[in-house]
């Protein structure tokens, strides 16, 4: 899926929409907008245009469009720093999981609402003692009449306090010698009895993620995703969607654009060359995902390289001497973007898997 040329009309359409939204003052471009820009009204507007769940079947609220077309829309939204965080996880990974593994009932209950930009999901994988080593999760799901009783603790759950549901990785049985056995994925209603969500403050003063305490939460059978006991395989496939998108190299694009006029041709060429290389890899993985594959290794590579690129860009583009080169009337906006990028950058190499772990995944694959 390396050829996006046929999509110029769509690209122009998205640019025109973004231009109008900016002119109307409906959003201010920010760095890291896919994590920090939570705006349900904006998400709803994208839903009306068919730009959420774009590749899903029309029967479930999708638009039956190609992965290339989705790529174009996502690229433009991220490059503009548009507030897309509210629906991000549901669009990027929960929806595709539901399309692949969901029951007919689940597809009809969740997908149209997600595609309309009205239903938001959080991802409940990490726990206090299970981050890099996800197989160490302790959140338990035990059988009861008509469903499951879930107890445990999730942490770093992005937007849990702003979402309707959490796709939750649980352990169905006690840990055995096979660390990956006995896990399941459940859709938990974040308004259910026994759910306690505690937002965690970030260095920028806002709360982007939360701790989620689950105390004997009842989850009906109809909200089991996929097969009981196959949670590990399912999550591994999901991570390919999580790690490989353009957000892994475009988080600080609004800063790059704001400062680009101050760069020499050589500096600009250096930035462009690095961005182009990761983008090509990203497009390659998107093509494989469209073909129904789960390219976990390549996705890990996109995330590891993208993160390194993004953190490098923040280092290179936020020096005081460079920021001071911006015209006086642009100083406030440029400094604000630089500040956002600086504060968010340490998290780039943690979220979605740390660089050390991703390098290990790629290294193991290369060495067999």
SS (HEC) of 135-169 = HHCCCEEEEECCEEEEEEEEEEEECHHHCCEEEEE
Say whether residue 207 binds ligand FAD (CB under 6 A).
Answer: no
Give CA–CA dist 33/29, Å, rounded: 8
Residues labelled catalytic = 242
Give CA–CA dist 280/272, Å, rounded: 12
Q: Return the SS3 of 306.
A: helix
Stretch that binds ligand FAD, among 21-29, 151-159, 176-184, 247-255 (CB under 6 A): 151-159
Stretch that binds ligand FAD, among 138-146, 275-283, 331-339, 352-360 (CB under 6 A): 352-360
User: CB-wise, 60 or 88, nearer to ligand FAD?
Assistant: 88
Site string for ligand FAD, 103-142 (x = CB under 6 A): -------------------xxxxx----xx----------
> CB 219 → ligand FAD: shortest distance, Å?
17
Strand partners, 123: 167
Q: Establish how many alpha carbons lie within 13 A of residue 34's alpha carbon, considering only the half-sphere containing its beta carbon.
A: 25
User: CB-wise, 55 or 158, nearer to ligand FAD?
Assistant: 158
Stretch that binds ligand FAD, among 64-72, 106-114, 320-328, 346-354 (CB under 6 A): 346-354
Contact residue for ligand FAD among 356, 363, 364, 365 (CB under 6 A): 356
- Considering only CA atoms, which of 67, 6, 77, 80 is closest in space to residue 47? 77
Contact residue for ligand FAD among 43, 139, 153, 158 (CB under 6 A): 158
- Considering only CA atoms, which of 165, 164, 168, 163 is closest in space to residue 186? 168
Give the CA diameter of the chain. 67
> CB 1 → ligand FAD: shortest distance, Å?
27
User: CB-wise, 132 or 276, nearer to ligand FAD?
Assistant: 132
Say whether residue 347 binds ligand FAD (CB under 6 A).
Answer: yes
Give CA–CA dist 344/32, Å, rounded: 7
Say whether residue 354 binds ligand FAD (CB under 6 A).
Answer: yes
Q: Do 194 and 145 contact (CB within 8 A), yes or no?
A: no
Chain positions contacting ligand FAD, by CB under 6 A:
122-126, 131-132, 156-158, 209, 347, 350-351, 353-354, 356-357, 360
């Amino acid at each position: 899926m390396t050829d996006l040329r046929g999509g110029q009309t769509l690209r122009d359409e998205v640019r025109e929409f973004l231009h109008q939204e900016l002119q109307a003052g409906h959003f201010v471009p920010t760095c890291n907008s896919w994590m920090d820009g939570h705006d349900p009204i904006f998400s709803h507007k994208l839903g009306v245009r068919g730009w959420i769940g774009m590749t899903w079947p029309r029967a479930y609220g999708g638009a039956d469009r190609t992965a290339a077309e989705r790529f174009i829309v996502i690229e433009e939204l991220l490059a503009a720093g548009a507030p897309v965080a509210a629906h991000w996880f549901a669009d990027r990974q929960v929806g595709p999981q539901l399309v692949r593994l969901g029951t007919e009932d689940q597809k009809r209950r969740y997908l149209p609402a997600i595609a309309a930009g009205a239903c938001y999901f959080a991802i409940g994988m990490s726990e206090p003692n299970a981050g890099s080593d996800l197989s160490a999760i302790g959140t338990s799901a035990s059988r009861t009449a008509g469903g499951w009783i879930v107890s445990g603790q999730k942490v770093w759950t992005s937007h849990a306090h702003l979402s309707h549901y959490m796709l939750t990785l649980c352990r169905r049985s006690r840990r055995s010698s096979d660390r990956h056995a006995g896990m399941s994925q459940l859709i938990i209603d974040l308004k259910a009895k026994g759910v306690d969500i505690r937002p965690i403050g970030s260095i920028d003063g806002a709360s982007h993620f939360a701790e989620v305490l689950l105390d004997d939460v009842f989850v009906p059978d109809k909200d089991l995703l996929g097969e009981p006991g196959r949670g590990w395989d399912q999550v591994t496939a999901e991570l390919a969607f999580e790690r490989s998108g353009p957000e892994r190299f475009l988080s600080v694009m609004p800063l790059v654009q704001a400062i680009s006029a101050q760069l020499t041709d050589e500096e600009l060429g250096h930035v462009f060359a690095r961005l182009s290389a990761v983008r090509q890899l990203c497009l390659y993985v998107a093509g494989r995902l469209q073909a129904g594959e789960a390219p976990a290794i390549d996705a890990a590579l996109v995330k590891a390289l993208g993160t390194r690129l993004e953190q490098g860009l923040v280092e290179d583009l936020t020096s005081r001497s460079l920021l001071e080169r911006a015209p006086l009337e642009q100083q406030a906006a440029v400094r604000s973007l630089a500040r956002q990028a600086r504060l968010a950058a340490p998290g780039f190499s943690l979220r979605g898997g740390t660089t050390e772990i991703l390098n290990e995944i790629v290294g193991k694959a290369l060495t067999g």
